[in-house]
Amino acid sequence: MYLTLNIQNETDPLKSVVLGIAEDQGPPPALEQAYDPNSLMHLKAGTYPKEADMIAEMENLAEVFKKHGVTVYRPELIPGCNQIFARDIAFVVDDLWVLSNILPDRAEETNAIQYLIDQAQPQSIVIPPEQVHVEGGDVMPWNEYLFVGVYAQPDYKNKITARTNAAAVDFLTELFPHKKVKAFALEKSNTDPYANALHLDCCFQPIGRDMALIYPPGFTHPEDVAWISSFFGPDRIFEITRDELVMMGCNVFSISPSVVVSESRLVRINTWMREMGLEVEEVSYQEIAKQGGMLRCSTLPLNRAQ
């Protein structure tokens, strides 16, 4: 029996998900090996997260999923490899499972979920051509829309934080002709976590049925922020602060239209979400967040029921 793949949006009731693992990552990277400015900042400060703390955080999230009846899959262990951010390596839209073209140093992470890929219908697996660079954090299905974060500046090759290129937008437009593909140019910095939107889900996240979190300076074009405000309604979006950006404030994860998982330190954001009628499952994820990603980044949803 094949795995069921069905992702229409960010918030339909979650049935199955791949959750990354934090075991056996190997030693902290050298400064020049840091993939993002958050990691770089904590490496320099001597506050890079400890493996045991990250394992505990991820296991607590797994328990929240199980509490809500979600089937949780985990990658197979690759010794010495950071396998936390399952969203980077693949993503599901509709009934298609797209395998990302990620940083070459991380390609082996896909091998760790091959046992799941093998359980899907072969025709549902999509491997983009080599020139298409795309990661799941930049791809956000929202019903008839497909929101895509992109970096298309001439210095793309010099930005380790630029993960999705213009070719990906064209590819996704062709792959999902029935979707309205809406691309958003993002701000990037290799060294300053306060000036970097690593993925779209680091500066924007739909929640509920008609709400969103947003960090406007993460977008290159003010008209894109205006479009989002008009689309959801200015009273249905919540602007996070610069400090909340570095705490990964937008990177929450919905279990259903009424239940969202968030980091316990995000008091201002969590209060607003509760005021808007959502149930907020709070977890500690601050150590994971030091690596430049949080709840959405570490999860790869396979099936959401409508």
> Residue 249's Cα: distance from chain center in Å?
12
Per the CB < 8 A criterion, the answer to whether 9 and 142 are in contact is yes
pLDDT per position as a tens digit, 262-304: 999 999 999 999 999 999 999 999 999 999 999 999 999 999 9
- How far apart are alpha carbons 279 and 256 in whole angstroms? 10
What is the pLDDT at residue 306? Answer: 77
Check if the beta carbon of residue 130 is closer than 8 Å to that of residue 121.
Answer: no
Kindly list the strands in the beta sheet with 180-185, ordered across the sheet, starting from the edge strand earlier in the chain. Answer: 139-142, 145-150, 180-185
Domain-located, residue 219:
yes
Residue 103's pLDDT is what?
66
Q: Answer yes or no: is 7 within a domain.
A: no
Residues with Cβ within 8 Å of 14's Cβ and at least 6 positions away in sequence, in order, are 65, 68, 70, 254, 255, 256, 301, 303, 304
Q: Which amino acid is at 65?
A: F
- Is 259 domain-assigned? yes
- Residues 50 and 71: their CA atoms lie apart, in Å, by 27
Q: Decide: helix, strand or coil at residue 21.
A: strand
Computed over every residue of the chain, the mean pLDDT equals 95
Pick from 1, 4, 9: which is nearest to 303 by CA?
A: 4
**Total structural domains in the chain?**
1
Query: Rounded to two decimals, what is the model's pTM?
Result: 0.95
- Tell me the CA end-to-end span of the chain in Å, nearest whole number: 21
Asked if 289 and 48 touch (Cβ cutoff 8 Å), the reply is no
8 within a domain of the structure (yes/no): no
**Domain-located, residue 3:** no
pLDDT for 25: 87
User: For 217-272, how does the pLDDT look when each residue is reduced to its tens digit (9 = 90+)?
Assistant: 999 999 999 999 999 999 999 999 999 999 999 999 999 999 999 999 999 999 99
Helix (H) / strand (E) containing 182? strand 180-185
Residues 127-152: b if buried by 16+ CB within 10 A, e if exposed: ebeeebbbbbbbbbbbeeebbbbbbb
Question: Would you say residue 65 has pLDDT above 90?
Answer: yes
Give the model's pLDDT for residue 12. 98
Cα(202)–Cα(295) distance, integer angstroms:
10
- CATH number at 30 reads 3.75.10.10
Residue 35 has pLDDT above 90, yes or no: no
What mean pLDDT comes out for the span 91-112?
Answer: 87
Higher pLDDT, 28 or 68: 68
Determine the pLDDT at residue 33.
83
On whether residue 118 sits in a domain, the answer given is yes
185 within some domain: yes
Cα–Cα distance, 136 to 99 (Å, whole number): 9
In sequence order, the β-bridge partners of residue 146 are 141, 181
pLDDT digits (tens, 9 = 90+) for 131-180: 999 999 999 999 999 999 999 999 998 898 989 999 999 999 999 999 99
What pLDDT, on a 0 to 100 scale, did the predictor assign at position 107?
Answer: 74
Beta-bridged to residue 253, according to DSSP, are: 261
A 10 A CB-CB count for 76 gives 12
Written as six digits, the tokens of 136 are 């799941």
Question: Looking at the domain assignment, is residue 122 inside a domain?
Answer: yes
Q: To the nearest whole percent, how much of the chain has pLDDT over 70?
A: 99
Per-residue pLDDT at 199 exceeds 90: yes
Radius of gyration of the chain (CA): 18
Task: Report the b/e string of 211-240 with b at 16+ CB within 10 A.
Answer: bbbbbbebbbeeebbeebbebbeeebbbeb
Burial class of 35 by CB neighbour count within 10 A (0 to 12, 13 to 18, 19+): buried
Confidence band for 28, pLDDT divided at 50, 70 and 90: confident
Q: Specify the 3-state DSSP secondary structure of 185.
A: strand
Task: State yes or no: pLDDT of 26 exceeds 90.
Answer: no
116: containing domain: 14-304
